[in-house]
Structure 1
Amino acid sequence: MNMKVKYIKSFMTVALLVLAASCTDLDVDIKSQYTEFPDSETAAEAKAANAYFAMRGPLGRDYNHAQTLSSDETMSYSFNGSDYYDNGRYNHMALHNWTPDDATIGYWENFTQGITTCNGLIAEMGGDEAAVTAPIRAVRAYYLWVLMDSYGDVPLLNRILAEDEAIDRSPRAEIAQFIESELLAVIDLLSTNVDISTYGKPTRWMADALLAKLYLNWAVYTCGDVATYTPTMANSKLNDVVKFCDDIIASGKFDLTDSYMSKFNSENGSHIKDFIYAMPFDRETQQGMTYARFWTHRNGNKEFYGVDLPSSVGGCFAVNSEFADKFNLAGDDRNEQIIGGPLYIRSASTYKATTTPWMVDGKQVTLTKNITLNKLDETMPVDNTAHGGRSQGYRSIKFYMDLKTTASQSRNQSNDVPIFRFADVLLMKAEAILRGATATNGDSPMSLMNQIRDYVHAPKVTSNPTLDELLDERAREFADENWRRNDLIRFGKFENDWGYKHIINPSAKTELYRRIFPVPKYILNTNTNWSQNKGY
C-alpha cells in the first residue's frame, strides 16, 4: 500500500504559530528570538504554550462527542427530525453508522497540527537530545496516542518535514511502540512537581499514566487488524501497567479527598488532588468547553439552574437507559451526576436541587428514563415540546453549567476536563491484576476498588470484582470523561446492544471495523494516495 501525504499546510501552520508567539516585542533582536536556545525554563515554557494546549478545541466538543456518543453512555435525538440533527453529526455516532464526512470525527487535523507545532518547537529548542524538550516530546506522544487510538494507522510525525516531503501512514502497532519509546526516553527528565506551575502540562506522572493506559490496551493496539481483537488475547504488558501505576501511587502527590461532584464544576482546577493531567478551560480566555449545552433540558436556560442563562441550550443528549441503570449503589455520590424524574430548581450557589419544583407552562418538568422516538430512522426524532420530546431521557449534570457565562462568551464553560485521574490509576491497576498481572504492595482488585467506593460513600465490595463488575465501576466513575469507548473496545463490548443502535442499525452488531474511525474525507481528499480504513 502506497500511502503518502504532504504536510505543507501543517508545516506553514507551525511556522505561523511560532512567529505569532515570538513577535510580542518588536525591539528584541531577531537572531536572539529565533535561533538561540532558550536559556531558562521560563523561556522554554513560553515557547511551549502552543504545544501544550492544542487539544483544547477537540476535547471541548468533537473528541468528547465521538467518545461518549459512540459508547453506551449517551444517545442523541433531533427535534421533529431536523432541529439539532445537524447532518447526522450526533446521531451517526450513537447509531454506529458514522461516515468519513461526519464532522464529529474530523478532529484528525487538530492533532497533526499539534504534533507539527511540537516538532517545530523541539527543533528550535535544541532537538530531542535537549532535556528542555522532554515535556514537548511527552505531549507529542499523547497527541499521537489520540490519533492512533481513534484512527488506527497514522503518520509518524516525529520531525519537521521538508516542504515537498511525503510520509507514509505507519501501522498502529508501530505507533504504539514509538509512543512507548518516547515516554520511556523522557520520563526521568519530566517535572515531578504538582502545583499550579505544572497544571495542564506534561509531568512525570502524566507520562506514567499514559504508559499505563497504553499498556492496558496493548493487545488492542498491536493485534494487526482491530476487527480481530478479542479480550482473551494475551497482553505481555500487564506487569508494566502495575509498575507505572505504582510509581504514581508511591509519589504520594495524588489522592481522592475531593468530593466527587466538586471535581467537575467550573471552580475546579489545580487544587483537585485527583487530577494528574487536565485541560484547563476558561469561559473568557481559554474557550471551547461546552458540554452542558448539549445535556441541559431545552427549556433549562430559564430558571432551572437558579438563574437564567444568557444563551439557549441544545438539550439533544440523553443518558441511555441501560447506562442509567448502572447508577444503583446506595449512598453513592456518583448517582448525583445523573438526573431524572421530577425536576426541581437548583441552587445557584450550592448546585444542589432545592425543594421548589421546576415548572414550565404551569407543569413540573419530569424526565423519563426511556425514550420513545416518533420514527425509527437515523434522524431519531422526538417532538419539540417541553413536556414531550424535550423531557425524554435522563441527563448528565457532571460537568455542571458555568453559571457565570455571559452572552458574549457563547455557552463557554470554565470547567477543566481531566484526562488522567488518580482514580483511574487505581482501577487500571485493579484491572491489570484481574487480567493476570502480579499484585504488588499488598494491593488486590478488591482493596483498590474499595478505595474508590470509600471516597464516594458507596458500599464496599467483599471479594475481588469480576471484570464485568470492574467495567461497571469504570462506568460510574468516568462517565462523560472520554474513556468509555476505549473501555468497551478493550472489554469486547463495543458491539453490544444499547439504546436504538441495534434497532435502527442492526449492522452495528457485526461491523467490528468501527472500533477505529475512518480517516476523515477532507484528509483523503488532500492525500489521494492514502487508502481509507478497512470497511469504510
Structure 2
Amino acid sequence: MKMKNLYISLLACAALLPLQGCTDVSEEVYDKYISDEFYGTPEGSNAALAAVYGQVAGNWGGVGYAGADNSWYDLNCMSSDEQVIPHRNTGDWQLDFARLYKHEWLPTDGIVVNTWNWLYKSVFNANLAVELLENGGAEQSKIAEAHVLRAFFYYLLMDDYGNIPFYTDNNITVDQIPQASRQEVYDFVVSELTTYVDQLAADKGGVYYGRFNRWAGYTLLAKVYLNAEVYTGTPRWQECLAACEVVSQGAFTLHSGAANENSPLGNEYFELFGDVNPDDETIWSIFATADVVSRNIYAVRSLYGPHAQTLFGYSGWNGTIIPQDYYEKFDAADMRRNQFLVGNQGGGINYAVNVTSLDNPGAAPMAGVRCVKFYPAGIANGGGASNDFPIFRYADVLLMMAECNVRLGNTGAAKPFIDQVRQRAGLGALTANPTLTDVYNERAFELHFEGHRRQDMIRFGTFLQPNLFRGASQEYRKLFPIPTAAMDANHLLVQNPGY
C-alpha cells in the first residue's frame, strides 16, 4: 500500500496547486518561483505529472481509461465481442451498452462523448505539464514522461476517432484547433515516442508501478506499431517486434500459474488482477483505492445483486455478461475459464449461458455468463473495489512477438512465445507452428476484460462480422464518430464517413 499512498499524495498535491495560485500574495517573486522554479524541483515535477496521471485513473462521470463506467473502457470493450450489458426485461440498464454491442452508436451517445471529453482534457493537462516542466528546467526523465503521456492520449484518440483535432499548445481556442489526419497523428506519436522513450527512467516497480518507465514506453511504441497498418495502410511488424524485444530486456516474466487454495479463483494467476498487480509481469498499471482514487467496478457490475451480497457482502449491479460464443471458445482445461460464473451458483442463483435479447424486451435477470476476473480486493463496497488495473502486461508483449513473427513468416520463432502463455494457463503447447488464428484466439483468452479486444478485432479483420444480435457491420463502424457537440464547437472539423 505504500506506493498507493505516495500516488494519492501526489494527486492531492496537484489538486492543491490551483488553490495556492489563488492565494493573495503580494510578492512577485512568489509567482516567478511557481512558474520558473517550482516545476523544476522534484516536488513540482511530480505534481505536474500527477495532474496528468490523475486522468488515467478511472472514476465516475466517464473519466479515465478503466475502472468505472461509461468511459473509454466501455466504449472499446462493449463494441467488441467480449462483453456487453444488456437491457433487462425488468427495466434495468439503459440501452447504451447494447447499442455499442450491436454497432448502433450515434455521435450524440453519452459514452462516445465521455471518451472524447476525457481524452481532450487529458491532452490539455499533458500539454500543460510539458510546458511547465520544460520552462522549469525539470529533470529530463520527467519531461520525457510528460511527452510520452501526451503521445498515449493521442494514440487512444486516433485509434478510436481517426482524423482528430490536434494541438500541442494550450494557447488556442477550441474553434481554431485544426483537424489532423490519422497518418499525421500517427507520425507525431511515433516521433514523440522514439524521441523520448530512452530518456524515461529504467526503474521497475516502486514509484514507477503506476508511471511510464522505459519499459512501459516501449510497450506503448510496440502497440502503436502493431496497429500501424490500420492507422496508415503500411504495416510495421518488424518495428513492433524490435520494440517488444527491448521490453523483453526489462527482466519481466510471466507470473505463476500454480494452484492456490487461498485464491477465490483457485490460482496464483489471478493475483495479476488483485489489489496490487505483481511487478514480475505488470509493466504499467492503474492504482485503485475505492472511494479514494479510482476504483474497479468490473466484478460487482457483473454479478446479480443477491449473489454478490452472498460472495462479497454487498449487492451486485446485475450488468455485464459474456456473450455465449465468446465464453464457449475457452477450453474446459483452461484455468482462465475460472473467471466465469455460469449455471447453478446455489441460493437460487442460476446463470444461463444463452441470452435471447439485448434490448427488446431485453435479457432475463439471470441470463448471461458472469465474470469475476477482477475479484474484489482491498477496500471494496457496492461502488467498486481496489483492484489495480493492468494497462500493459508482459503476456501481451509475448503475444505481440508471436503475432509479428507469424506475420513476417517466422512461425517457428513465434511458437515459444505463444506456448509460454498457453502453458501458464494449464494448456499444452501447440502441436504445430502457430497461425494467425492461434494468435488471435490466444489474445482473446489471455487479455479478456483488459481493453484490447476491439483493437485486435479490427486488426485481424473480424470487427465487422455478424454475431447473434446483429448482421455484418459497415466499414465506417471501425471508427467512432466525432461527437456532435465537438462538431458544433469547431466548424473546422469534418465528420467521419457514415455519420
Task: Judge same fold: TM > 0.5, yes or no.
Answer: yes
1:392 to 2:367 alignment: yes
Indicate the SS of the match to 2:392. strand
1:120 to 2:128 alignment: yes
1:359 to 2:347 alignment: yes
Map residues 37-76 of structure 1 onto 2, 5 A cutoff.
38-56=39-57, 57-58=63-64, 59-60=66-67, 61=69, 62-76=71-85
Indicate the SS of the match to 2:186. helix
Deviations 1:83-123 (A, max 9, x none): 21x2x211110111011111122211111111111111211
Aligned to 1:314: 317
Structure with the largest fraction of helix: 2
Distance (whole Å) between structure 2 residues aligned to residue 203 and residue 403 of structure 1: 26
Cα deviation for residue 55 of structure 1 reads 2.2
Aligned to 1:98: 105
Cα deviation for residue 323 of structure 1 reads 0.3
Distance (whole Å) between structure 2 residues aligned to residue 34 and residue 417 of structure 1: 34
Distance (whole Å) between structure 1 residues aligned to residue 134 and residue 455 of structure 2: 35
Cα deviation for residue 63 of structure 1 reads 1.4
**1:201–1:73: structure 2 CA closer, same or farther, 3 Å change rule?**
same
**1:159–1:144: structure 2 CA closer, same or farther, 3 Å change rule?**
same
> Which of 207, 222, 225 pairs up with 1:197?
207
Aligned to 1:82: 91
Aligned to 2:403: 431
Aligned to 1:327: 330
What amino acid does structure 2 have at the position aligned with 1:518? P
Gaps of 5+ in 1: 1-15, 224-233, 344-357, 383-388
What amino acid does structure 2 have at the position aligned with 1:308? G
Distance (whole Å) between structure 2 residues aligned to residue 126 and residue 194 of structure 1: 25
**1:291–1:242: structure 2 CA closer, same or farther, 3 Å change rule?**
same
Cα deviation for residue 205 of structure 1 reads 0.8
Cα deviation for residue 422 of structure 1 reads 0.3
Aligned to 1:284: 291
**1:433–1:129: structure 2 CA closer, same or farther, 3 Å change rule?**
farther
Aligned to 1:521: 484
Asked whether the equivalents of residues 175 and 491 of structure 2 are also in contact (C-alpha less than 8 Å), the reply is no
Aligned to 1:230: none
**1:156–1:295: structure 2 CA closer, same or farther, 3 Å change rule?**
same
Deviations 1:225-265 (A, max 9, x none): xxxxxxxxx62x11111111111112214443363211112
What amino acid does structure 1 have at the position aligned with 2:76? Q
Map residues 358-377 of structure 1 onto 2, 5 A cutoff.
358-360=346-348, 365-373=349-357
1:381 to 2:362 alignment: yes
Cα deviation for residue 23 of structure 1 reads 5.1
What amino acid does structure 1 have at the position aligned with 2:427? A
Asked whether the equivalents of residues 320 and 498 of structure 1 are also in contact (C-alpha less than 8 Å), the reply is no
Map residues 144-159 of structure 1 onto 2, 5 A cutoff.
144-159=154-169
Percent sequence identity over aligned pairs: 26
Cα deviation for residue 134 of structure 1 reads 0.4
Asked whether the equivalents of residues 495 and 512 of structure 1 are also in contact (C-alpha less than 8 Å), the reply is yes
Distance (whole Å) between structure 2 residues aligned to residue 488 and residue 523 of structure 1: 27
**1:403–1:367: structure 2 CA closer, same or farther, 3 Å change rule?**
farther
What amino acid does structure 2 have at the position aligned with 1:186? Y
Indicate the SS of the match to 1:299. helix
Aligned to 2:450: 481
Indicate the SS of the match to 1:137. helix
What amino acid does structure 2 have at the position aligned with 1:381? G
1:175 to 2:150 alignment: no
Distance (whole Å) between structure 2 residues aligned to residue 102 and residue 20 of structure 1: 32
**1:293–1:101: structure 2 CA closer, same or farther, 3 Å change rule?**
farther
Aligned to 1:511: 474
Distance (whole Å) between structure 2 residues aligned to residue 522 and residue 18 of structure 1: 31
Asked whether the equivalents of residues 175 and 489 of structure 2 are also in contact (C-alpha less than 8 Å), the reply is no
Gaps of 5+ in 2: 1-13, 58-62, 258-267
**1:241–1:252: structure 2 CA closer, same or farther, 3 Å change rule?**
same
Q: Over aligned residues, Cα RMSD in angstroms?
A: 2.5
Distance (whole Å) between structure 1 residues aligned to residue 303 and residue 428 of structure 2: 30
TM-score by length of 2: 0.86
Distance (whole Å) between structure 2 residues aligned to residue 65 and residue 419 of structure 1: 15
TM-score by length of 1: 0.81
Asked whether the equivalents of residues 239 and 432 of structure 1 are also in contact (C-alpha less than 8 Å), the reply is yes
Distance (whole Å) between structure 1 residues aligned to residue 117 and residue 203 of structure 2: 31
Asked whether the equivalents of residues 90 and 365 of structure 2 are also in contact (C-alpha less than 8 Å), the reply is no
